[in-house]
């Protein structure tokens, strides 16, 4: 539940099935709507991911407004802040949000973007429910997204279970690859501690298929017993194709940023099944997301992806925290947000660590692609 303020709301109104307290719409003189931003890659190479995140928030807003809005009858509207996953343009996007007087943002998603613009949000008292996983992006606000310190041990345990003594890494360590590089650095350190050898092959974004095939060939030339791929899905698609074309390539683990519907649509079944993945399954494979999936399909006419369920939960937690605080002051709302305990979201039970703003129970597993071309938990 969220803070003691929520209890007083429940004493006045019975909670709806979505966890919002329906209130009577105010007559003439109703307050203007609250504008919240959703920042992510809504166009560009990662657009399928960013649009799914945007829709997750739009669905939560649609449901909230249908039940009368926030504690004072205020409705919510969404401002789409498209950063294109481009760290170089991130500050300009953040300043647009700040200059519009917006004080709440769901996002950003890419850690390299978050490194650039989360400090600007926090400086200007904008409360982020950040979707970045790099620990360096933590601070004022909260997240329901798994952080790299929570993901890395799961990857390390899996690689250890395979028993390979030499691992070849293909890593996006470019300016936009803060998260992917950070994950690879953590896994390399864990493997080195066990005495395993690691080779590192850098991967750039937006290159030709020939380029990626060459980088894969370089990595495989070290005769590894295992391959680890830490990229975002557009690069992961090309690497999966090259690994599949090389029939002698060893087993492979791809990092969380490849778990995206875009990866599935741009690969054949054989290519998609070439590696396993660290991450969470798409919403249709999560029992806790059954209602969310049904509502999402009804509103948008398509299946949800992986990360829209996280932004959906983020928005719902934000609205509950605003109701509990009975305030639009970001600091008061953050206090209530960090009191979240045992909230049943589309992504499962959510408890927030009041000191860090991190989710305490992240739904991260080792995944595979099944014959229906869906991400599912590997046995």
pLDDT tens string 342-365 = 999 999 999 999 999 999 999 999
Is 50 exceeded by the pLDDT of residue 1? no
- pLDDT-derived band at 28 (thresholds 50, 70, 90) equals low
For the stretch 176-211, pLDDT in tens is: 888 999 999 999 999 999 999 999 999 999 999 999
Residue 178 is predicted with a pLDDT of: 87
Is 60 exceeded by the pLDDT of residue 17? no
Query: Using CB atoms within 10 A of its CB, is residue 204 exposed (0-12), middle (13-18) or buried (19+)?
Result: middle
- Residues 348 and 250: their CA atoms lie apart, in Å, by 34
- pLDDT-derived band at 8 (thresholds 50, 70, 90) equals very low
For the stretch 239-273, pLDDT in tens is: 999 999 998 889 999 999 999 888 999 999 999 99
CATH class of the domain comprising 161-279: alpha beta
- pLDDT-derived band at 22 (thresholds 50, 70, 90) equals very low
What are the domain boundaries of the chain?
Answer: 5-146+284-365, 161-279
> Nearest-CA neighbor of 172 among 133, 132, 212, 214?
212
Residue 177 is predicted with a pLDDT of: 82
For the stretch 148-159, pLDDT in tens is: 899 999 999 999
> Nearest-CA neighbor of 283 among 270, 300, 267, 266?
300
% of the chain residues with pLDDT over 90:
85
- pLDDT-derived band at 29 (thresholds 50, 70, 90) equals low
Whole-number average pLDDT of the chain:
91
For the stretch 82-123, pLDDT in tens is: 999 999 989 999 999 999 999 999 999 999 999 999 999 999
Q: Which residue has better confidence, 325 or 12?
A: 325
- 338 three-state secondary structure: coil
- Residues 53 and 175: their CA atoms lie apart, in Å, by 23
Is 90 exceeded by the pLDDT of residue 278? yes
Residue 344 is predicted with a pLDDT of: 96
Residue 176 is predicted with a pLDDT of: 81
With contact defined as beta carbons under 8 Å apart, do 172 and 180 qualify? Answer: yes
Cis bond before residue 346 (omega within 30° of 0): no
pTM, full prediction: 0.83
Fold classification of 5-146+284-365 is Rossmann fold (3.40.50)
Q: How far is CA 366 from the centre of its chain?
A: 16
Averaged pLDDT, 133-140: 94
One fold for both 5-146+284-365 and 161-279? yes
- Residues 89 and 85: their CA atoms lie apart, in Å, by 9
- pLDDT-derived band at 7 (thresholds 50, 70, 90) equals very low
For the stretch 210-223, pLDDT in tens is: 999 999 999 999 99
């Amino acid at each position: 539940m969220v803070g003691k303020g929520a209890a007083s709301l429940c004493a006045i109104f019975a909670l709806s099935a979505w966890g919002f307290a329906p209130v009577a719409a105010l007559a003439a003189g109703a307050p203007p709507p609250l504008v919240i931003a959703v920042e992510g890659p809504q166009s560009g190479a990662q657009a399928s991911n960013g649009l799914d995140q945007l829709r997750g928030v739009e669905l939560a807003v649609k449901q909230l407004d249908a039940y009368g809005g926030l504690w004072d009858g205020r409705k919510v509207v969404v401002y789409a802040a498209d950063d294109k996953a481009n760290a170089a343009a991130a500050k300009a996007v953040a300043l647009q949000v700040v200059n519009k007087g917006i004080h709440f943002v769901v996002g950003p998603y890419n850690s390299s973007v978050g490194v650039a613009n989360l400090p600007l949000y926090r400086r200007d008292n904008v409360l982020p429910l950040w979707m970045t996983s790099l620990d360096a992006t933590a601070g004022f606000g909260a997240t329901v997204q798994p952080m790299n310190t929570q993901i890395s041990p799961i990857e390390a345990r899996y690689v250890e279970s395979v028993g390979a003594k030499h691992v070849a890494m293909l890593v996006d360590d470019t300016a936009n690859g803060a998260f992917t590089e950070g994950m690879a650095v953590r896994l390399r350190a864990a493997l080195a501690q066990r005495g395993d050898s690691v080779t590192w092959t850098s991967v750039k974004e937006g290159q030709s298929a020939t380029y990626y095939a060459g980088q894969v060939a370089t990595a495989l030339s070290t005769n590894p017993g295992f391959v680890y791929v830490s990229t975002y899905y557009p690069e992961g698609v090309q690497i999966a194709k090259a690994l599949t074309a090389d029939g002698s390539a060893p087993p492979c683990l791809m990092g969380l940023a490849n778990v995206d519907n875009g990866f599935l649509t741009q690969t054949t079944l054989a290519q998609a099944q070439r590696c396993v993945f660290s991450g969470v399954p798409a919403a249709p494979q999560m029992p806790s997301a059954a209602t969310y999936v049904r509502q999402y399909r009804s509103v948008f006419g398509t299946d949800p992806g992986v990360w829209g369920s996280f932004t959906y939960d983020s928005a719902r937690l934000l609205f509950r925290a605003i109701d509990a605080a009975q305030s639009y002051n970001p600091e008061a709302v953050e206090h209530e947000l960090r009191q979240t305990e045992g909230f049943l979201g589309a992504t499962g039970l959510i408890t927030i660590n009041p000191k860090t703003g991190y989710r305490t129970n992240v739904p991260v597993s080792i995944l595979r692609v099944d014959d229906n071309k869906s991400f599912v938990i590997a046995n």
